[in-house]
């Protein structure tokens, strides 16, 4: 089955700096890669996703890049703000079965004011 | 924005007891899921449900677990005889606003199950 590894497990940045979280996956059949933000006491919330037919996707301050050959994808947050502080999860699945996602271990991001 | 709602937010039960976790998916969604997150660990897929039947389940989802959509709005997860290791946060999710499995997952805020 699919295995998703995520690094780092914790990340602390100063407000305004950029944050990068990296994930690798094992199953070459995976072609859908969502990123979730989980705030304390809440469920994961989709913030951005990418399909394997594109290499990069951007939405305001967040972007995701995908390297299919190397089987890794990354989340980039620019101009971080304190409200970006949360746990971020990457996930991998097959696009037509996106409900069955394999999650990474999560990254706790702390943005210091 | 429509939300997935889960009740209760926290459930405490004794080992061996049955529990039912309840979820109201987003209206008009067609695909329903349960995920589990043991404290400090990753979110794990349990089961997916479509057209009133299980479409896929993980190794975790053994005979102690069952799901049901008893009416047009609720989606439940039953654990028949709880074990200590069932203690976790259980998330319900739904997708398929347009009827396609590839639309994003919407998660509820979870039910924290504590088995003593």
Q: What is the pLDDT of residues B50-72, one digit of tens each?
A: 889 999 999 999 999 999 998 87
Chain A residue numbers touching B105 (CB-CB < 8 A): 34, 44, 46, 98-99, 101
CA A43, CA A71: separation in Å to the nearest integer? 27
Higher pLDDT among residues B60 and B2, named by residue: B60
CA B13, CA A12: separation in Å to the nearest integer? 37
Q: Is the pLDDT of residue B15 over 80?
A: yes
Query: CB distance from A20 to chain B under 8 Å?
Result: no
Q: Smallest Cβ distance to B42: which of A42, A100, A103?
A: A103
To probe the interface with A, which of B104, B109, B110 has the most A CB atoms within 10 Å? B104
User: Which pLDDT score is estimated for B101?
Assistant: 47
Q: Smallest Cβ distance to B43: which of A44, A95, A97?
A: A44
CA A45, CA B9: separation in Å to the nearest integer? 17
Q: Is the pLDDT of residue A11 over 60?
A: yes
Q: Does A95 sit within 8 Å of B110, measured CB to CB?
A: no
Question: For residue range A43-98, what is the model confidence (pLDDT) as tens digits?
Answer: 999 999 998 888 899 999 999 999 999 999 999 999 999 999 999 999 998 877 77
How much is the mean pLDDT over chain B?
91
Q: Smallest Cβ distance to A100: which of B56, B91, B110?
A: B56
Average pLDDT of B92-98?
A: 79
């Amino acid at each position: 089955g699919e295995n998703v590894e995520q690094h780092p497990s914790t990340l602390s940045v100063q407000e305004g700096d950029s944050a990068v979280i990296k994930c690798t996956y094992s199953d070459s059949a995976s072609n859908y890669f969502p990123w979730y933000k989980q705030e304390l006491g809440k469920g994961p919330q989709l913030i951005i996703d990418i399909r394997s037919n594109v290499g990069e996707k951007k939405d305001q301050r967040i972007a995701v890049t995908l390297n299919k050959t190397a089987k890794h994808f990354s989340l980039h947050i620019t101009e971080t703000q304190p409200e970006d502080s949360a746990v971020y999860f990457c996930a991998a699945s097959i696009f037509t079965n996106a409900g069955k996602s394999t999650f990474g271990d999560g990254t706790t991001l702390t943005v210091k004011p | 924005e429509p939300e997935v709602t889960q009740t209760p937010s926290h459930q405490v039960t004794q080992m061996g007891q049955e529990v039912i976790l309840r979820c109201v998916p987003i209206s008009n969604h067609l695909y329903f899921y349960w995920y589990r997150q043991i404290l400090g660990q990753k979110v794990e897929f349990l089961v997916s449900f479509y057209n009133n039947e299980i479409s896929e389940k993980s190794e975790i989802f053994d005979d102690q677990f069952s799901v049901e959509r008893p009416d047009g709005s609720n989606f439940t997860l039953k654990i028949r005889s709880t074990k200590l290791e069932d203690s976790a946060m259980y998330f319900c999710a739904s997708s398929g606003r347009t009827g396609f499995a590839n639309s994003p997952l919407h998660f509820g805020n979870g039910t924290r199950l504590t088995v003593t």
